[in-house]
Amino acid sequence: MNVFDKLALPNGAVIRNRIAKAAMEENMADADRAPSGQLMRLYEAWAQGGAGLLITGNVMVDSRAMTGPGGVVLEDDKHLEAFRRWAQIGRSKGAQFWLQINHPGRQMRANLGQQTWAPSAVPLALGKMSKYFNTPQAMTDEMIDEVIQRFARTARLGELAGFTGVEIHAAHGYLLSQFLSPLTNRRTDQWGGSLENRARLLLEIVKAVRAVVSPRFAVAVKLNSADFQRGGFSADDARHVVKLLNDRAVDLVELSGGSYEAPAMQGDARDGRTLAREAYFVEFARDIRTIAKMPVMVTGGIRRRAVAEQVIASGVDMVGIGTALAIDPGLPRDWRAGKDNAPALSPITWKNKPLASLANMAAVKFQLRRLSRGKRPNPKVSPLRALILQQLADVARTREYRRWIMQRANASVG
């Protein structure tokens, strides 16, 4: 096996190679939270780059629950035509194109002005930065039912728009990950306690999504290999959840790890573990592959073809690449041509880990903005400069988002 072999999914679809553009949060919605022209240009670069699968950054299932102020929302058919154009661009060179659909739960900044939901009223523990996040409200059964229906509706709309699949985000400390972790899920009802109960929301969402999309439409799940916090969601838990997903018509499981509190997806673990600089979660992915009935994809730090080839040779089905494709969107095409490009950002060694995590994400978004404007990326950008620019942009987007929410509320009252 090599990275340019085709991959057949359980639903019968075929991905032309084993390289996926993993999800990165772009925050490039237009004023109505629909895909913007900049976002279209960004995905045109990736479509031409040669990856077999493109996975969008977060597409929110609820406009009141945002991972960022500039996030794309798909909760009704008002802007379906813009989503159709986005889907056409992503698929224009033969790639599969999936929406990553998500709900942030408690990982939503307080300045967005919205009520925060989570399985339990457990606030984020980010030291001095905790003040930027509200203590969440424990969800009622009605709230949980609404979230299930919202995920299903967004998936159905995504298929209508022409996307070839969805990836349900149950990793990185967002809502579904919060339900899976005993640190954040302290419920004693059917949604908490045992792992089977903590996994119930994810399983119900998969079931609801599969019920409203066609059999050929891919349904994937993004899952933490662990959340890298003592007493949290463990590797054994992840193994068991994959076994539960085996019987749910899931077409692919992507393995990553971490959360806002422990950003292991960037190579840092709260519990003291040292992660390799590349292919952070491969050992776990190989283990999962022995029990998974669906293909397994691993994401986390991969930037060299030799490493990608080793991952595939070890039995993992797909490699997800994020940051490296933000720096060089044509990386798969170059690898196929025999080049050994290995793009990387400057390392960030700040002692404040949450702030370093924000700076890393800002440096990635800096590259995405340049690509979306037709400019060449600048991987040597100062992390501090990228962070300052990102903070300024977030302030403006936050004001814009709050105005938009208020206008919608006024219109519904009127």
Q: What is the CATH number of the domain that holds 311?
A: 3.20.20.70
Task: Tell me if 244 is assigned to some domain.
Answer: yes
The answer as to whether 404 is a domain residue is no
pLDDT band, residue 228 (cuts 50/70/90):
low
- The model's pLDDT over 338-383, given as tens digits with 9 standing for 90+, comes to 999 999 998 888 988 778 888 999 999 999 999 999 999 999 999 9
Residue 409: pLDDT band (50, 70, 90) is confident
Q: Is residue 311 assigned to a domain?
A: yes
Residue 351 lies in a domain: no
Closest CA to 204 of 168, 234, 165, 256: 168
* pLDDT of the residue at 394: 95
Q: In angstroms, rounded to a whole number, what is the distance separating the alpha carbons of residues 172 and 175?
A: 9
The yes-or-no verdict on residue 71 having pLDDT over 80 is yes
Question: CA nearest 43: which of 57, 60, 59?
Answer: 57
Q: Is residue 398 situated within a structural domain?
A: no
In the predicted model, is pLDDT for residue 276 greater than 50?
no
CA angle 168, 172, 176 (to 5 degrees): 45
Average pLDDT over every residue of 159-178: 97
For the chain, percent of residues with pLDDT exceeding 90? 80
Higher pLDDT among residues 279 and 74, named by residue: 74
**Domain-located, residue 183:** yes
In a domain, 217, yes or no: yes
HSE, side-chain direction, 13 A CA sphere, residue 377: 23
Residue 2 lies in a domain: no
The answer to whether residue 107 scores a pLDDT higher than 60 is yes
Question: How many whole angstroms separate alpha carbon 182 and alpha carbon 195?
Answer: 8
Banded model confidence at residue 260, pLDDT cuts 50, 70, 90? low
> What is the number of alpha carbons within 13 Å of residue 235 lying toward its C-beta?
8
pLDDT reading at 270 higher than 50: no
Alpha carbon distances (Å) from 216 to 23, 92, 202, 205, 317: 22, 19, 21, 18, 19
Residue 189 domain boundaries? 7-345
Q: Is the pLDDT of residue 58 over 60?
A: yes
Looking at the structure of the chain, the number of domains it has is: 1
Radius of gyration of the chain (CA): 20
